[in-house]
Amino acid sequence: MDLNLFAVFAAIMRHGSVSQAASSLGLTQPATSNALTRLRGQLGDQLFVRSKNGMLPTKFATQMAPVIERALADLQTVAAESTAPGIDLADLKRNFTFVMSDLEEALFITHLIGGLAKAAPGVSVEVGPFRSDILQDALELERVDFVIAHLEAPVRNLKNLVSRDIAKLDFVCVMRAGHPASGGLKSKAPAVIPLQRYLCLGHVLVSPDRGGRRGVIDNNLRKLGHQRTVVCSVPHFLSACLLVSETDHVVTLPRQLAERAARHFPLDLFELPFAADSFTIGLHWLSTRDKDPEHAALRGFILSTLTGRTGSLT
């Protein structure tokens, strides 16, 4: 049933006239008459009859009027509350659950937790692994508040999902310091590794969600008529960094993660010898949480704190 029809009913009850009701609602008289006709059909009653004194309500309409007036008043109260000022983060005491892979953990967790310690000391955070197969249910059942991730189709098309971009990432090739393939390439800025050298190496692929032995880099190479050799596929970015730091395999990683990993592992970074599509990490939540004031308060904090921040906490 169209609830807007009840506003028309209430206006006709107040004014005793279709034309005056239309004017008060900002509608045309034909539109108001049409709405009344639809409501009559849905409720199975004439509701109003014409007389020299205007539109007279039927007994059924008279009985229904106070119920409808109360319901409309309640809806107006809900609307007023939904526009009430937001809450203060410092007063918030609540646990929030996030989903992210270790890529997003490595890039954002220090900003998030470090920032909350100052802005919202009463907030605690639980981080769960990214699994696209159960993500819709987890969001709808409110087991997950936020997702920080790069979402590809069909995951990007989850029902009622709201998304805001927070970072754009590109790729570099990463290998251990002193790797034979790095000979003659070292410079202050990452040098470009020759294509044939890149293709001849054994590659580690990171596939956090679906597994497999092909990824976005393989798709880019395929468009150019090339193919690399993937010797190992792992679900975690940091384990890939550890693996290549102690072997002669290489891995192609988001630049921002590679730069951070190189502070902790003996790694060298090299520019790719071909164009590779960049990708975007976003903050995602279900639209049913939009009017949750606490959720909205933390949302605003996350977006202001994490947008454009992919380095270490300063």
> Does residue 314 sit within a domain?
no
List, for residues 89-108, the tens digit of each pLDDT value: 899 999 999 999 999 999 99
Distant-in-sequence, close-in-space partners of 185: CB < 8 Å, separation ≥ 6:
191, 192, 193, 270
List, for residues 21-71, the tens digit of each pLDDT value: 888 888 899 989 998 998 898 889 999 998 887 888 998 988 888 888 888
Residues 118 and 160 in one domain: yes
Q: Is 312 a residue whose pLDDT tops 50?
A: no
Under the banding of pLDDT at 50, 70 and 90, the label for residue 83 is very low
Q: Which domain holds residue 196?
A: 171-270
d(CA 142, CA 156): 18
d(CA 150, CA 208): 11
d(CA 306, CA 166): 6
- Please state the separation of Cα 262 from the chain's center in Å: 29
Residues 205 and 218 in one domain: yes
pLDDT of residue 26: 84
Q: What is the number of domains present in the chain? A: 3
What is the CATH classification number for the domain harbouring 147?
3.40.190.10
pLDDT of residue 226: 95
Stated pTM of the model = 0.69
pLDDT of residue 314: 37
- What count of other Cβ atoms lies within 10 Å of the Cβ of residue 40? 17
Domain boundary (82, 103, 123) is at 82
pLDDT of residue 184: 72
Amino acid at 122: G
Residues 153 and 301 in one domain: yes
Q: Is 278 a residue whose pLDDT tops 60?
A: yes
Radius of gyration for the chain, computed over Cα atoms and rounded to the nearest angstrom = 30
Residues 156 and 186 in one domain: no
Residues belonging to the chain = 314
List, for residues 200-227, the tens digit of each pLDDT value: 999 999 988 776 778 889 999 999 999 9
* 215-242: average pLDDT: 93
List, for residues 182-193, the tens digit of each pLDDT value: 887 765 678 999
Higher pLDDT, 256 or 80: 256
What is the CATH classification number for the domain harbouring 18?
1.10.10.10
- Mean pLDDT across the chain, nearest whole number? 87
Q: How far from 51 is each of 13, 22, 29, 54, 170, CA to CA, in Å?
A: 14, 18, 18, 5, 74
List, as own/partner pairs, every contact residues 137-142 make where C-beta atoms lie below 8 angstroms and the sequence separation is at least 24, other chains included.
Answer: 138/99, 139/285, 139/286, 140/286, 140/288, 142/289
Bridge partner list, 175: 268
